[in-house]
Structure 1
Amino acid sequence: MSRQQAQLAVAQDIVSGVARAGSEQQDPVRAAAEIYRALAPCEPTCVVFYCCTRYPLELLARELSRYFPDITVIGCTSAGEITPLGYKKHSISAFGLSQSLFAVESVLIENLAAFTKSDADTLVDGMLNNLRKKAVTSSPIDKQCFALSLLDGLSVREELVINALSESLHEIPLVGGSAGDDQHFVDTQVFHNGKFYSDAAVFMLVNTACNFEVFSQHHLAPMQEKLVVTQVSPDLRVVQEFNAEPAALEYCRINNLKLEDLNSRTFAMYPLAVQIGDHLYIRSIQQVNDDLSLTFFCAIDAGVVLTQMTSPGLLSHTSMIFNLLEESVGEIQLLIGFDCIHRRAEIDEYQLEEDMSELYMEHNVIGFSTYGEQINGLHLNHTFTGVAIGYPRDQANPDLTLT
């Protein structure tokens, strides 16, 4: 194992009870062993991981279950990973939350199409009752708790599930991401306690004695051109027409592109947004289809007006986000990050990977490149979304122990 791999395998903060890890080992047996060595010292009550789809998932599941047999383990497949050494591809990133400062309750939700608000009410009530019995804080559970969601990124059910859960959570913030598969758009999966699942979601409640802040930001600015959705298949997130013209052709027109230019990179570099109130929410395109229709990552419907967007600068905006988060929670010991795959494409286009990786390393980000991000009841695109976790309220300026 190289020195860099050794550094990537172990990055932990024993003082705070949070551990961060990653592995570029392509053998799942060795990768799982590296993750275990990094996370075990913090005595985790749960482990969360994100992995490339190149791994044989059944074998990886078996190995992770062998190393962490008696604790909650959740995760999902990814379209790129954020590790203790920043952005990586074809790897695993992970974090552990110690039993001394965190209590968790998790559940697997299957058959997403049949999930209802009543199901969400029953689920959340039961989980909160269980969480209260093992809470690590004396405060009311809804004051020191956040929810974490991981969903099958090809399920086309994110909005339905997230909205139902968010309403049932009331004041408890929810944050999460949609699983990826390295932009193959064939098979995205979530993991819960020993097994990978398709058409499923993992939902976890986290009670903590630490300061934390849930956030979601995008760095894009509006331009003049508008597109009106005039023909759409909303259940499939497929737009056939903008402005009563073939969707792909109209998209090309406003961006001065040729049809043969359309690919994942151009969709990332030429985004669209819908305005709701004073806010612009990005609606990212997944792919162009043979009939010149466009498939989106997020919900889309007839009559929606989309605004052409541009990027004034991703790096500076992300740095600003970290400054604001540090003002809120103090020094960040772990930032659970859900980073849209289209942000990663822009980073690659402008050769920002090294600078962004340094920024993420500095602020202890662990996460993955997603097919969509969730914040409370919203399913979004092209955002950096997550939860920043500081130190316990009574722990001032702890010394980091990194090995």
Structure 2
Amino acid sequence: MTAVEKQRLNECGPAVTYGGSDNSNAIKAAQELYQSLAMERPACVVFFCCVDYDREELGDTLAELFGEVPVLGCTTAGEISPMGLSPGSITGFCLSADHFVVETTLLKNLATFSERGAYDTVKEMMQRIESRAIAPMAYNSFALSLLDGMSIREELVLSALNEALSGIPLVGGSAGDNLHFRDTHVYYDKQFFSNAAAIILVNTTCPFSVLSGHHLVAEKEKMVVTKADPAKRIAHELNAEPAALEYCRVMDISLDELNSESYALHPLSVQVGENFFARSIQQVNDDMSLTFFCAIDTGIVLTKMRDGGLVAEFERRMEEVVAEIGEPQLVVGYDCIHRRIEAEGKGIYEELSALYQRYKVVGFNTYGEHCDAMHVNHTFTGVVIGEASAFSS
């Protein structure tokens, strides 16, 4: 980079700022987040927060501090901040208008979701951003999604969004609530919404790379879903046996051991071609059925999976991305809650947290990850943003 180019970058200021707060007071946490994200020309702010905060206080304070700057966010099952894995906090990032052009939209009331309506809404958003784009749209744009994690509408929404985006990569996550499974929210236009999805379309001069994958390895044991309620993501029977009992038999665990940790440590997947996509269990029900985080249906074959090295797999992927686009200035990360639980159970939590800190990951533990039209589990999905170009407008 020439001296002139370096001077221009310095004059523009940082392309991205990020930060957070572990203050338990919603107002103080919002103020500390604002201070850490401050920049001269913000294009957009995205945050991820613990569900324990007073939402009204948090939302009102963020609205007052950031004014007319678009602010979007969601509740989580755990946060990833500049300090690594940071449950009980708020974290976020700000994109500079010198390097990013942003358009946002909200899909309300997903219970009566219309694929055509979502398609039209996203197409309108694309038309708005094309007139302001600072780089060719097709190769210099990505979309971020935040979806109510209890809506059970991810597959329909993502399918419509992916079609409307016409090849622009989409990554995102489903909002959480610390495994209570009651109360998940997204934040848009100065207020929190349930049963909604927030979409952010980004055009940038910064290099970026989308990644999505898991560390799991397939074993031989398989189970067939022989009775299911796909609308509720419930498997009633596996191999013609009560689902929970058959899962316990295959995994060689007792019924008393069924909890979030056992689901994280004994994952399942669906095979599509040569690829395996995890299907995480959310909870066991009184009738011995199992509720899943992702789509489930009668006839699906589930494969037992084993750990292939969570930390090593993530580090390998990041090394490949760094070789491609250079060191990241930010990684927007959507990390399955079962990965964090697995890391805790296997004593690699601190190692994983340090790795996220090393690569500047800001994100959250999700109830499901979004990658184009897919809603998946047990993955780390995100977008790695490289250093800014000196020729951004």
**2:109 match:** 111
Give the counterpart of 2:85 among 80, 84, 87.
Answer: 87
Q: Kindly state the Cα deviation for residue 117 of structure 1 after the two structures are TM-superposed.
A: 3.0
Q: Distance in 2 between matches of 1:115 and 1:41?
A: 37
Give identity over the alignment, percent.
48
RMSD (CA atoms): 1.2
1:176-325 alignment, distance < 5 Å = 176-325=172-321
CA deviation profile, 1:345-385 (whole Å, cap 9, x unmatched): 01111222221121111111000000000000000000000
Q: Which amino acid aligns with 1:56?
A: D
1:337 to 333, 336, 361: 333
Residue 373 of structure 2: which of 373, 377, 402 is its match?
A: 377
State the secondary structure of the residue aligned to 2:39: helix
Matched to 2:221, the amino acid is E
Picking from 95, 98, 101, the partner of 1:97 is 95
Gaps of 5+ in 1: 1-13, 396-403
- Give the equivalent residue in structure 2 for 1:73: 71
| Alpha-carbon distance, 1:41 to partner | 2.5
Which amino acid is 2:151 matched to? S
How far off its partner does 1:241 sit? 0.2
Amino acid at match of 2:53: Y
Shift of 1:392: 2.7
Aligned 8 A contact 2:24 2:53 in 1? yes
Any idea what the Cα deviations from partners look like across 1:11-41, whole Å, max 9, x if unmatched? xxx8532001110001111111111111113
Of 175-184 and 320-329, more deviation after overlay is shown by: 320-329
State the alpha-carbon separation in 1 of the partners of residues 231 and 119 from structure 2: 25
The match for 1:125 is: 123
1:173 and 1:190 map into 2 onto residues whose CA distance is 21
**Matched residues in 1 for 2:385 and 2:185: separation?**
26
- Secondary structure of the 1:273 match is strand
Tell me the CA shift for residue 193 of structure 1.
1.7
1: CA distance, partners of 2:13 / 2:354: 23
* Structure 2 runs not aligned, ≥5 long: 1-11
- The answer on whether the counterparts of 2:335 and 2:363 sit within 8 Å (CA) in structure 1 is yes
SS in 2 for 1:93: strand
Give the aligned residue type for 1:293: S
| SS of residue matched to 1:149 | strand
Q: What is the distance in 2 between the residues matched to 1:125 and 1:222?
A: 39
Q: What secondary structure, in the 3-state scheme, does the structure 2 residue paired with 1:333 have?
A: strand
2:98 and 2:114 mapped to 1: Cα distance?
A: 35
Distance 2:69 2:347 in 1: 39
Take 1:44 and 1:23, find their aligned partners in 2: how far apart are those partners? Answer: 20
Moved over 3 A (4+): none
* 1:42/1:299 CA distance change after superposition, 3 Å: farther
Which of 159, 163, 168 is the equivalent residue of 1:167? Answer: 163
Query: Could you tell me the TM-score, scaled by structure 1's length?
Result: 0.92
Distance (Å, rounded) in 2 between the aligned partners of 1:73 and 1:281: 32
Q: How many residue pairs were aligned? A: 380
Q: CA deviation at 1:225?
A: 0.8
Name the CA distance, whole Å, in 1 between partners of 2:207 and 2:234: 41
Match in the other structure for 1:49 = 47
Determine whether 1:36 maps to 2:15: no
After superposition, the Cα gap between the structure-2 partners of 1:235 and 1:40, relative to the gap in structure 1 and judged at 3 Å, is: same
Shift of 1:121: 2.7
* Greater alpha carbon shift after TM alignment, 237-246 vs 343-352: 343-352
Structure 1 residue matching 2:340: 3-state secondary structure: helix
d(CA) in 2 for partners of 1:101 and 1:20? 15
| Distance across 2 between alignment mates of 1:129 and 1:332 | 29
Shift of 1:120: 2.7
